[in-house]
């Protein structure tokens, strides 16, 4: 979700789905909303994820000039049996 490695991606005794929606506005801005659900199955000893996990991500991207883009990302992950997570970042990207 928006580039954060937070939910279990091993696929070991789990199943899930991730869905995202992108709006490009007049091709000058970008807004992305993503959601993910991971459900566990089988005994806990046979998998990497300790429990079910849910995530929500949001990205907004705006060009400042033809070669500079500012991007804002945020996400939240609710994970059973381990600490929940929240993350945010701001990036200034340039093209050469």
DSSP state of 43: -
**With 80 as the cut, is the pLDDT of residue 93 above it?**
yes
Q: Across residues 42-47, what is the average pLDDT?
A: 85
Structure confidence at residue 6 (pLDDT): 73
Q: Domain locations in the chain?
A: 14-94
Whether the predicted pLDDT of 2 surpasses 60: no
Alpha-carbon distance of 70 to 77, in angstroms, equals 24
- pTM of the full structure: 0.80
Please give the C-alpha separations between residue 78 and each of 11, 40, 83, 87, in angstroms, as whole numbers: 18, 14, 8, 12
């Amino acid at each position: 979700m928006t580039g954060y490695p937070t939910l279990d991606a091993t696929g070991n005794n789990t199943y899930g789905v991730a869905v995202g929606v992108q709006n490009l506005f007049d091709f000058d801005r970008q807004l992305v909303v993503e959601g993910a659900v991971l459900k566990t199955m089988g005994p806990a000893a046979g998998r990497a994820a300790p429990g079910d996990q849910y995530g929500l991500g949001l990205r907004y991207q705006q060009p400042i000039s033809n070669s500079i883009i500012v991007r804002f990302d945020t996400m939240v992950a609710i994970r059973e049996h381990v600490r929940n997570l929240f993350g945010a970042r701001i990036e200034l990207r340039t093209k050469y």
